[in-house]
A and B are shown apart, each in its own frame.
Chain A
């Protein structure tokens, strides 16, 4: 299995390499891999269908429990029929569909090949990470395929929308999967499903999983990306948006249903959204004039149907679900290919321009009708068999009845738009001239015929279909035993509903007035496309507003932010349990008072000085005053260092200030700003002071380390001055670091100004000039 996936990727590279020489035949080469895969899986079908799941494990990072496990069971088997079987057919079709010498075929073929490999991996994956990897890989491939070479704006927009919606859904799904894995203690999906965990976290996980399902399978309210993605080439749509990728969501639903089918958080949203989607999709399909968009909405509707069936979580619904999954993949890919043929041979796919195509190309019409009949649920096709089973699954009363009504209504719409498709594509319209059709060759017709005929074969040979799909519902633990698939169930509710759907569908098609009154009456809030646009715009809008507020680009503001943040982080915790000091005193030594006043006066004056040199002098008053306080406090070394450094600083300042203007530049900040700054500064200052008070309050004795230093100063360092001993001996490593700091600062300061001594002169350009040049720089 791993080999098959790797083969896909390898062929993608090969295809890219030979694209220039091989032209459109690269698709034939690309088709070989899914064909081989399909054949290989079929060859082992007996064992698989007997319930013997094949498992392959690749250890990736066992340390953290990351391993890649692939597992082939019945559900995977059915999906592979679509992924590889239909895949091979579509690839083959593309070889005939592409125009000779068409540009970009290599890229498309390679991407399709990668996509087919990713899809194969997705349906085989048995651990959540492999699943997620392939899930997102299909998203990325879809993005690149829909976007094409990005020339048209519509393509870009659709590609981005598809990517955003499905990728975000994928992330939600990952979140759900991780929570689920944590709850059950294993990353293996088969084990999670076999022993499903429960609890509130699991419910959250299931809802997140459903987000992944509904985004990928284009369910309300995320459905608009699918019709949008129709800008992709038609064969791409046939594969990605009918057979394979959009089924991934439904597949996920089906994968987890045996474990969680009875959890309300799982099945209620799935059934409700699925029913809504089925109706809305069907309704929109009735209004479209573009055949491809019509099919896209039809797909949305059918996916809703599948979501209902897979989500319901009963055996009967599961049987119907997997049958219709197969049926839908077959007939919908055939129909997309039909649209591709029509588009290629006539140059249009607009209902309002097509006329007489059926008369000119009867073979195409026959296959199309065969596929449409399966979609509409006409016997003896597979679609009919599936739909009968589906109706039967909801005949048990209770809430089922609502679902039954919804899917019956949905089926009415399906029949109606199927008829509309036949009429629109093939009818000869009296008021239109016949469209010129160049007859499609076998290369185009063959791939259309295969899936269409497969639907017929599976329908007629119901036991064959049964052997393929029966293994899946058998694994479901919930709901009553399902009856076998059959063309004839006897006269009963299901048959009645089938007939009703056919008749009703015809009537709806015949009398458009029956639904047209709805146009424009649906509340605009239901317009999901607008919802998507609003969400994207809103995010951008919020981001701009927040940026404007937070990233003001002003240094004072940043400092203020940091100060305020510190209050919150450190201050609140500190104040919240501050024991108030038991006693207080004015001073320890009377000399402290005049010195403190001196320092405060110096600091105050430094703020208000207008001349630079005055400010510097006042600031050094602060320094000298504090040095004096050190002497009072019993720190002569400290005082000495402080005096020295203060003097040195003053000298440096004087040197630098010689070159500056005498006064501070007169840039007055706004009054309220000044008060704001003052308030922040004062709060911070008081907080620091409080910390200091606490600090001295917390000290009850000289800390052990200090005592140790004092004891050992003489004995080990041979010094009587303990501070010196600490600095040059006990903590010498830090002192070395300190010296390094000084050295770096000196080297830095030197390289910043030294050379300037030579070239420095008074600025010749005015301030405006340099501002302008700065602006210019910033704009680059």
Chain B
């Protein structure tokens, strides 16, 4: 269904063609096949939800989702194997499938695969992390009954696929309107997914409401920014904005006002301080697999979009706005590092760590050099897998009432479950940026790109922030190893195949990128740059 609309739209969209050539369709199906597959599977998933009997839904949806991602991955790999280095634009210039877009697509598909595995797990929490009937009131008889059932709302799978497709479109969007719509497509499912936790449903509901309200607010800013830029450039295409900005006869107020609002919307999605306020509440309240999905994939999409917007459209004016983003990066790193120190909940702590990491990512993003772009993309990949595995581990530590996320409950975990404690320690070390983990290489490439671009003071601040952030990772490690476990403390569930696979994937990539970063770095730095 969706495929055919895309097809029609592609046939009709001739805008990018010079007059006279109007007849030939300009759409590269092979290039956008991964997106088509993901959206197509999502649409099919929604239909299946309507027609399938309840007991079949889970297995069919899981199969469909995994198949879709793997299929998209294959299509992607086939395209990449001989994609033009300089990239192409397609669908009337709405999408730009260039080297950064492809790298980010690969990252998103891989992270999306891991996230779907976490979402699909039903062995850690019998029935999965999602509520069986989202509408039942918590605390009622029905609610207790549904907590015991093994069913779950299976529309989480198509929703996650929609979000994933939205993210992929977002990374490749070559004009602001497409970007805005992709932003909505990726956001709405996430708002909903946040509210579907099986346990602690009130927190989950609160998370959904907060994320939605703040997210809608941020989308609105994005839209206003878009409008202002349209007023400035007379076009929503990134390349046209760049051309307009290079001329000097227009009002810069519109340009910078528009850029500011646009970037606020993007910073919000990337949970960069001071637009981070939703992050801790939402990370804590959302079902952990969804938190993992958001933490890993949304960051990729948000920073991917930011990289493209800043590099393609605003490079020529960078000296005017870079100071502000310097400030934002510093605020984000400081907020993440300092506020993280006071947290008593593991998920909130990782949330603040993600805010600090967003600051580091922003440093790479505003470098605006090829090196900065590839460094940021590498960092996104590295961080995504580490944080995915970290949330996977968080979902394993449970007591009778669900996940045990309070830090005091993690005391002495190493004595109960040395393996899980060791894995988590490793992941925390990767988040700290200890050598031989991907976190180190990521920080290294980002910081060297920044220094190369004359941002040494920012890098020094970033190093200080990393040092402060190391405190709270360390606190967890100390707690796990050097405390006596509580009497009625949480147990560590034996992870099922899906969760094991997801954690293994995350840890393996973290090790691999730490020890042998060359392969991925080669790809990230393959050149080509943005096409527009």
Residues of A at under 8 Å CB distance from B? 60-64, 66, 129, 132-133, 136-137, 147, 150, 156, 159-160, 163-164, 167-168, 171-172, 174-175, 178-179, 182, 201, 539-540, 542-544, 546-547, 550-551, 553, 555, 558-559, 561-562, 565-566, 569-571, 573-579, 688, 691, 694-699, 703-706, 708-709, 712, 715-717, 728-741, 743-745, 747-748, 751-757, 759-760, 763-765, 769-770, 773-774, 777-780
Question: Is the pair A694, B202 in contact by a Cβ cutoff of 8 Å?
Answer: no
Contact (Cβ within 8 A) A565 B275: yes
Distance from B318 Cβ to chain A, minimum over Cβ atoms (Å): 14
- Is B252's CB within 8 Å of the partner chain A? yes
- Apart from A178-B459, A573-B256, list 12 A-B contacts with CB within 8 A: A64-B444, A167-B470, A571-B257, A574-B260, A578-B251, A694-B231, A704-B235, A729-B13, A748-B188, A751-B155, A751-B196, A759-B135
Nearest 3 pairs of A and B residues by beta carbon: A703-B234, A570-B260, A150-B482
On whether A558 and B14 interact (CB within 8 A), knowing A136-B435, A570-B256, A773-B139, the answer reads no
Complex: chain A residue closest to B449, CB-CB: A64
B518 at the interface (CB under 8 A from A): yes
B356 to chain A, nearest CB (A): 13
**Complex alpha-carbon distance, A150 and B471, angstroms:** 18
How close is A118's CB to chain B, nearest CB, in angstroms? 11
Nearest A residue to B402, CB-CB: A780
**Within B390-405, which residues are at the interface with A (CB < 8 Å)?**
401-402, 404-405
A137 shortest CB reach to chain B, Å: 8
Q: Cβ of B486 < 8 Å from any Cβ of A?
A: no
Closest chain B residue, CB of each to CB of A568: B324
One of A167, A716, A733, A760 near B22 (C-beta < 8 A) = A716
Q: Are B135 and A736 in contact (CB under 8 A)?
A: no
A543-B217 contact given A730-B15, A751-B134, A780-B405, CB 8 Å threshold:
no
Q: Does any Cβ of A come within 8 Å of B447's Cβ?
A: yes
Chain B positions within 8 Å of A695 at CB level: 227-228, 231, 254
A776 shortest CB reach to chain B, Å: 9
Q: How far is the CB of A701 from chain B (nearest CB, A)?
A: 8
CA distance A712 to B192 in the complex (A): 40
**Does B501 belong to the interface (CB within 8 Å)?**
no
State which of A573, A706, A708, A737 has its C-beta within 8 Å of the C-beta of B181: A737
Chain B residues positioned under 8 Å from A179 (CB to CB): 451, 456
Interface pair B46/A747, CB less than 8 Å apart: yes
Contact partner of A61 (CB less than 8 A), chosen from B14, B268, B470, B518, is: B518
B195 proximity list for chain A (CB < 8 A): 752
CB of B139 within 8 A of CB of A559, answer no
Q: Is the CB of A773 within 8 A of B185?
A: no
Given A551-B277, A574-B260, A716-B14, answer yes or no on A691-B94 (Cβ-Cβ < 8 Å): no
Q: Determine whether the beta carbon of B448 is less than 8 Å from that of A539.
A: no
Contacts of B192 in A (CB 8 A): 744, 747-748, 751-752
The interface residues of chain A lying within 8 Å CB-to-CB of B263 are 569
Q: Determine the chain B residues whose CB is within 8 A of the CB of A167 once the complex forms.
A: 467, 470
Tell me the nearest residue of chain A to B230, going by C-beta: A703
Against A, the Cβ 8 Å flags (1 = close, 0 = not) of B444-470 are 110110011000100110010011101
- Assess the B181–A738 pair: CB atoms within 8 A: yes
Q: Do A734 and B8 form a contact, CB below 8 Å, given A755-B136, A780-B402?
A: no
Are B139 and A171 in contact, with the CB atoms below 8 A? no
Task: Provide the bound-state CA to CA distance between A551 and B518, in Å.
Answer: 40
Which residue from chain B places its CB closest to the CB of A564 in the assembled complex?
A: B274
Interface SS of chain A: helix
Complex partner residue of A558 from B39, B162, B278, B468, CB under 8 angstroms:
B278
CB–CB A147/B482 < 8 A: yes
**Which of B177, B268, B441, B470 is close to A66, meaning CB atoms less than 8 Å apart?**
B441
Identify the closest chain A residue to B328 (Cβ): A569
**Considering the complex, which residues of chain B in the window 38-88 have a beta carbon less than 8 Å from any beta carbon of chain A?**
39, 46
Q: Which residue of A lies closest to B435 (CB)?
A: A133
In the complex, whether B6 has a CB less than 8 A from a CB of chain A is: yes
Residues of A near B209 (CB, < 8 A) are 555
- Contact assessment for A562 and B228 in the assembled complex, using a CB-CB cutoff below 8 Å: no
Name 9 interchain pairs, CB-CB below 8 A, sorted by A: A544-B342, A550-B339, A558-B210, A569-B264, A571-B260, A691-B257, A695-B228, A704-B234, A744-B159
Q: B452 CB to closest chain A CB, in angstroms?
A: 8
- Among A559, A562, A706, the one with the most B-chain Cβ atoms within 10 Å of its Cβ is A562
Find out whether the CB atom of B251 lies under 8 angstroms from the CB atom of A570: no
Flag if B257 contacts A574 (CB, 8 Å).
Answer: yes
A703 with B139: CB separation less than 8 A: no
Tell me which of A729, A734, A744, A780 has the highest count of chain B C-beta atoms within 10 A of its own C-beta.
A744
A774 and B134 contact, Cβ closer than 8 Å, known pairs A66-B441, A150-B483, A562-B218 = no
Bound-state Cα–Cα, A62 to B525, Å? 12
Name B's A-contacting residues (CB within 8 A). Answer: 2, 5-6, 8-10, 12-15, 19, 22, 39, 46, 91-92, 94-95, 133-140, 142, 153, 155, 158-159, 162, 166, 169, 177-178, 181-182, 184-185, 188-189, 191-192, 195-196, 200, 202-203, 209-210, 213-214, 217-218, 221, 224-225, 227-228, 230-237, 240, 250-254, 256-261, 263-264, 268, 274-275, 277-278, 280-281, 320-321, 324, 328, 335, 338-339, 341-342, 401-402, 404-406, 434-436, 441, 444-445, 447-448, 451-452, 456, 459-460, 463, 466-468, 470-471, 474, 478, 481-483, 516-518, 521-522, 525
Which B residues touch A539, using CB under 8 A?
341, 468, 471
Q: If A734-B177, A752-B195 touch, does A706 touch B445 (CB 8 Å cutoff)?
A: no
- Chain B residues near A543 (CB, 8 Å)? 338-339, 341-342
Which of A174, A566, A734, A756 touches B135 (beta carbons < 8 Å)?
Answer: A756
**Residues in chain B near residue A696, CB distance under 8 A:** 231
Cα(A257)–Cα(B210), bound, Å: 57
Note all chain A residues with C-beta closer than 8 A to B166: 740
Q: List, in ascending order, chain A residues with CB within 8 A of B264's CB.
A: 562, 565-566, 569-570
Nearest B-chain residue to A542, judged by Cβ? B338
Q: Are A737 and B217 in contact (CB under 8 A)?
A: no
Distance of B160 from chain A, by nearest CB (Å): 11
Residues of chain B within 8 A (CB-CB) of A555 are 209-210, 213-214
B237 — which chain A residues lie within 8 A by C-beta? Answer: 705
Quote the shortest CB–CB distance from A20 to chain B (angstroms): 15
Q: Which residues of B contact A773 (CB under 8 A)?
A: 138-139, 202
A163 CB contacts on chain B under 8 angstroms? 474
The answer to whether residues A694 and B251 also contact, given A559-B213, A569-B328 and a CB cut-off of 8 A, is: yes
CB distance from B48 to the nearest CB of A (A): 12
Contact A729 B342 (CB under 8 A): no
Residue of B nearest to A773 (CB): B139
CA distance A574 to B229 in the complex (A): 12
Give chain A residues whose Cβ lies under 8 Å from the Cβ of B189. Answer: 744, 748
| Cα–Cα distance between A23 and B311 once the two chains are bound (Å) | 62
Report yes or no: A178 in contact with B448, Cβ–Cβ below 8 A: yes
For the complex, give the distance between the alpha carbons of A733 and B233 in Å. Answer: 22
Q: Is there an interface contact between B252 and A577, defined as CB atoms closer than 8 Å?
A: yes
User: Is A573 touching B253 in the complex (CB atoms < 8 A)?
Assistant: yes
CB neighbours (8 Å) of B177 from chain A are 731, 734
Nearest residue, chain A, Cβ from B202 = A774
Residues of B within 8 A of A691 (CB): 224, 228, 254, 257
Q: Which residue of A lies closest to B142 (CB)?
A: A759
| B208 (CB) vs chain A CBs: closest residue | A752
Contact between A759 and B254, CB atoms less than 8 A apart: no
Which of A178, A577, A757, A780 counts the most B-chain CB atoms under 10 A from its CB? A780
Q: Which residue of B lies closest to A569 (CB)?
A: B260
Which residues on the A side are within 8 Å of B6 (C-beta)? 733, 736
Closest approach, in angstroms, between the C-beta of A442 and any C-beta of chain B? 37
- Which of B94, B136, B261 sits near A734, CB closer than 8 Å? B94
Neighbour of A736 across the interface among B9, B256, B434, B448, CB < 8 A: B9
Contacts of A171 in B (CB 8 A): 463, 466-467, 470
Bound-state Cα–Cα, A764 to B182, Å: 41
* Residue pair A703, B257 in contact (C-beta under 8 Å): no
- CB neighbours of A558 from chain B (8 A): 210, 214, 277-278
A63 and B526 CA atoms in complex are apart in Å by 10
Q: Could you tell me if A562 and B217 are in contact, using CB atoms closer than 8 angstroms? A: yes
